[in-house]
Structure 1
């Protein structure tokens, strides 16, 4: 068995926290889903060998996932009109991911969005020099996210699914759309919103790697970028030798369903999904 460098670096506290339950809306508030409802979880599905190779851990397949808490429309008998799935970015352990799910839910509730919110929690905590490993892990999570979306739509066909992704979570989401396309699925998501997306700016264009998948597998695709995002301007550019779509917007012709917005007013890279500091009011304002 490979020796896991990333697992060795994890603290006992983080490992314990990853097994804790998630917050669930109380019975009196269930109709409004005041808290995020549940989590789609793929933590510990991937690891990095001592030699730096990403591998799938024992007992996990290309498409499996777990859920915790309540997934309205899937693990209960409700059928909400909409479900919001939020995919966090890099360097989030399980505790930090749950904190971000709470923040984005708070921001959505502040805009009178009552739809249930579900977090997507994936292996993203690591060292800076492991960036390329986590890009690969974000990529490999796409089939799992896509399988969840298909399972969810089969269980609750009357529910529109909206996906919001922050930072490196954007890689998982655009790869998820490509997962639908490559397998010939007719699956479509109501809307995709990238917040400070860590994806190359030309890859989302028509003729780019994800352009056709964007055009075919979501009704509305919106990119929110920040021209003074220091994380994307320095770290991403240094790592990828390219410009992130979350920094300067798209390079090239946009797919027919693509829109983008300059939200340079956002305080910092980590703040896009947060109340007051972020751009969730614009995200919700642009929903159709």
Structure 2
């Protein structure tokens, strides 16, 4: 079910387009070498640190961390830091994108998402998942992100079992969309766990056809969540310009949505936020982002901190 809503395009971008293109030119073919990585990373850093209203996280902000190994090679077990939410009606798990260390860090990004949710009127508990994402090898990071999602699925399943009355939502950004999709597939299709309440994809850095019924993550989306909402913006320069070069012209679901003529799972929705989001890291900006729209699109009555009214139980 692909629902492309129309919104007016923003008038300006947080990224200087010429500087982004200079970064691409310096990197040659992009995404595989350090030169290309630096072009992407500098654009992301300019916007995601300099242009984003990042929030200073509390010392005890909860994060699940995957052992990074060396540049993602040999990444292994999971550990917890901070005060994990227990016994909540709902919890949001935020999953970051590529070059997390250059874009504020998973902990600060998670705290920023939490503040954006608060500004949107939701008091839902939040936490973050920090997986290795800083290797300059884009294609290796694609596979590594999915593997990290699958690794995290066992933790999520255990958390659901320990907190059976807590509904889990995922908010995933950029490459984190691949992490979240791998998580859903592993959680439900491989481990036999319960679907999460929803997955909200912000500027998803994966191909448009991956979310279709016959696509790479079609089954994961159909079975792994009650609802999957894809927030895309054609003003997302990093996806619209840089990612396409690294992917040899493949367009991202976060820049265009699913293919217009393709069949998507019934629980999948495309939401065009071009008129709200004017850059790759601004989706979850507390002042300029689209988190109010995200909260509005949570299933009715489930915006954090409230009684579920039995709706989710009835859904199963």
Tell me if both proteins adopt one fold, taking TM over 0.5 as the criterion.
yes
2: CA distance between counterparts of 1:287 and 1:258? Answer: 13
1:55 equivalent in structure 2: 73
Which of 119, 129, 137 is the matching residue for 2:144?
137
- Which of 260, 265, 282 matches 2:270? 260
1:112-161 deviation digits (Å, cap 9, x = unpaired): 2112110111111243xx21121122111012221121011011000000
- Measure the CA separation in 2 of the matches of 1:164 and 1:279: 12
Aligned length: 240
Gaps of 5+ in 2: 1-33, 35-56, 300-316
Q: d(CA) in 2 for partners of 1:142 and 1:135?
A: 11
Alpha-carbon offset, residue 261 of structure 1: 0.6
Q: Report whether the alignment pairs 1:171 with 2:178.
A: yes
SS at match of 1:47: coil
In the alignment, is the contact (CA less than 8 A) between 1:43 and 1:121 conserved in 2? no
Report if aligned partners of 1:104, 1:273 keep a CA contact under 8 Å in 2: yes
Q: CA RMSD in A?
A: 2.0
For each residue in 1:158-196, what CA deviation from the matched residue of structure 2 results, as whole angstroms up to 9, or x when unmatched? 000000000001110011112134415142000000000
Partner of 1:151 in structure 2?
158
Give the aligned partner of residue 258 of structure 2: 250
Aligned residue for 1:11? none
What secondary structure does 2:115 align onto? helix
Structure 1: unaligned runs, 5 residues or longer: 1-5, 7-21, 26-36, 49-53, 74-78
Counterpart of 1:279 in structure 2 is 290
Deviation at 1:281, TM superposition (A): 0.6
Instruction: Give 4+ residue runs of structure 1 displaced > 4 Å after superposition.
Output: none
Distance 1:43 1:280 in 2: 30
Contact residue 172 and residue 180 of structure 2 kept, 8 A: yes
Greater relative contact order: 1 or 2 (C-alpha under 8 angstroms, separation 6 or more)? 2
The CA distance in 2 between the partners of 1:96 and 1:108, in whole Å, is 18
Match of 1:40 among 64, 89, 109: 64
- In the alignment, the residues of structure 2 paired with residue 146 and residue 80 of structure 1 have an alpha-carbon distance, to the nearest angstrom, of 19
Work out the CA distance in 1 between the residues paired with 2:264 and 2:254. 15
Aligned-pair CA distance for 1:96: 2.3
